[in-house]
Amino acid sequence: MKIYKLVLIELWHRKSQLITSLLAITLGIGVIVGIRSVAVVSEKAVAVNLDNLGANILVLPQGTSIDNYYSADIDAPTFPEDYVERIRTSTLAGVDNISPKLTRRIKIQNQSVVLTGILPSSEIISKPIWQTSGLSGLELKATCDTSASNKSHGYEDERLQRKPIESLQQNDCIVGANIAKTLNLKQGDKVNILGSSFNVFNVLSETGTVDDDRIFAHLHTIQKLTGIENQISVIEIMGCCNAISEGLLGKLRNILPDTKITTINQIVSTQIKTNQLMNKISIIFLIIILFVGGISIGNSIWANVNERKKELGTLRMIGFTKLKIYQMLLLKAAILGILGGFLGYIIGTLSGVLLGPQLAGLNIEPIPIYLLWSVLISLCISLLGSLIPAYLAGKIEPYKIMQEA
């Protein structure tokens, strides 16, 4: 019989003790992994989505955020389509390509779809359509210096560049890659949307953005079908960056008083702040885990040592050295640590994957390298926490136990 077997049998023998000593560290690691998984994906998602917009100014209903817009809930706020005309008829300089949209999350054959109403010829849409379907289009450029206004946020993927789409009939629709896959749609098919039949004008190539889960159709058709006539969710504007720096946003706010007007830069910096906050929270959690987890495992090892005083005395009596006793207890702590890190990773990742889509509207992917980190951190914490109890256990004198007999 080897020492590790002795340790495993002892662990198994005290299952409830095992579970309680694992609880703190497992939950702690789980929370960190959960937060980090969401943060990583949301950072990516926002950056990709924003880059994919192609616009640099967003007009949103008062009191909403870019997240509301992307989640496109059924009761997400809207504002009148007339606002588009207000901008058009104003004499504001540096406003280019005004593109209104109405988005609503609906179900088609139980599949969640973001139905997006667009106006052809003003809408900018992913390059792949234009490439693969021969939709004619001009490369869009803000009227002034493009290098700054089309600034990418680290995702210079060609697939994500926008091109205008010229024409879209009232009963045509363009289907995102994921939707096309799950609903088994291809170009020329018919699809029933909210009781109305649509021709699939085109299927988009996969972009890795929310566009994959969207169906685009004519804005006015969507307004009628959803019963939200003359209302829109957003106006995406391509503004000349010089004009923006000269106060374009303020001027827009004057024309459109009850809306929220932001630039992509503002959104990006808010997002960066949110992410920084998330990172801080996970660091704070990490420190708390260091303490709570370490103390909790150390404490349970110490309780275990006290419970086993007689037994440890017996082991010393039959020839176990202090070193062997340390080895046994630290091996136990190591097993607890590895188990805790592993379970924590599983719990954190699972809750991210399961709850992510509902709570954050994000598809969370497991991050395998976090498994390594979880196990390593948890292992270190529980070993550190157990050093003192193990040292004290070595001090138990075997003869005391014999004389108490």
Partner 1 sequence: MLIETKGLSKYYQHKDGLVEAIKYIDLSFDQGDFITITGPSGSGKTTLLLLLAGLIRPTSGSINFQGHELNSSSDNKLAGIRSQHIGFVMQNFSLIPYLSVLYNVLLPLSLHKHADSSRNDYAVRLLDKVGLKDRMNHLPKELSAGQQQRVAIARALVNKPKLILADEPTGNLDPALSIEILEVLKQINVENKITIVMVTHSPVASGYGNLKINLVQGRIVNKVCSVVTDEFLS
Of 112, 151, 311, 354, the residue at the interface with partner 1 (CB under 8 A) is 311
| C-alpha span between 33 and 21 (Å, rounded) | 19
| Rounded least distance, CB 355 to partner 1, Å | 39
**Residue 17 interacts with partner 1 (CB under 8 A): yes or no:** no
Tell me whether residue 208 or residue 394 sits nearer to partner 1 (CB atom): 394
Which 3-state string (H, E, C) describes the chain?
Answer: CCHHHHHHHHHHHCHHHHHHHHHHHHHHHHHHHHHHHHHHHHHHHHHHHHHHHCCCEEEEECCCCHHHHHHCCCCCCCEECHHHHHHHHCCCCCEEEEEEEEEEEEEECCEEEEEEEECCCCCEEEHHHHHHHCCCCCCCCCCCCHHHHCCCCCCCCHHHCEEECCCCCCCEEEECHHHHHHHCCCCCCEEEECCEEEEEEEECCCCCCHHHHEEEEEHHHHHHHHCCCCEECEEEEEECHHHHHCCHHHHHHHHCCCEEEEEHHHHHHHHHHHHHHHHHHHHHHHHHHHHHHHHHHHHHHHHHHHHCHHHHHHHHHCCCCHHHHHHHHHHHHHHHHHHHHHHHHHHHHHHHHHHHHHHCCCCCCCCCHHHHHHHHHHHHHHHHHHHHHHHHHHCCCHHHHHHHC
Stretch that binds partner 1, among 49-57, 155-163, 322-330, 371-379 (CB under 8 A): 322-330
User: If binding is defined by CB under 8 A, does position 321 make contact with partner 1?
Assistant: yes
Residues 173-232 that bind partner 1 (CB under 8 A): none
Under rule CB under 8 A, residue 265 binds partner 1: no
Q: Which member of 134, 195, 319, 368 binds partner 1 (CB under 8 A)?
A: 319
User: Using CB under 8 A, which of 216, 320, 345, 370 touches partner 1?
Assistant: 320
For partner 1, the closer CB: 44 or 324: 324
Q: How far is the CB of 326 from partner 1 (least distance, A)?
A: 13
**Selected range binding partner 1 among 10-18, 180-188, 191-199, 288-296, rule: CB under 8 A:** 10-18
Which residue type does 232 have? I
Residues 382-401 that bind partner 1 (CB under 8 A): 398-399, 401
Piece in contact with partner 1 (CB under 8 A), picked from 109-117, 177-185, 192-200, 308-316: 308-316
Among 74, 138, 318, 369, binds partner 1 (CB under 8 A): 318
Q: How far is the CB of 2 from partner 1 (least distance, A)?
A: 6
Q: Which stretch binds partner 1 (CB under 8 A): 35-43, 49-57, 58-66, 311-319?
A: 311-319
Number of residues that bind partner 1 (CB under 8 A): 29
Q: Is the CB of 74 or the CB of 405 nearer to partner 1?
A: 405
Q: Could you tell me which stretch among 107-115, 207-215, 216-224, 309-317 binds partner 1 (CB under 8 A)?
A: 309-317
Assess 322 for contact with partner 1 (CB under 8 A). Answer: yes
Q: Which residues here bind partner 1, judged by CB under 8 A?
A: 1-3, 5-6, 9-10, 13-14, 310-311, 313-324, 398-399, 401-403, 405
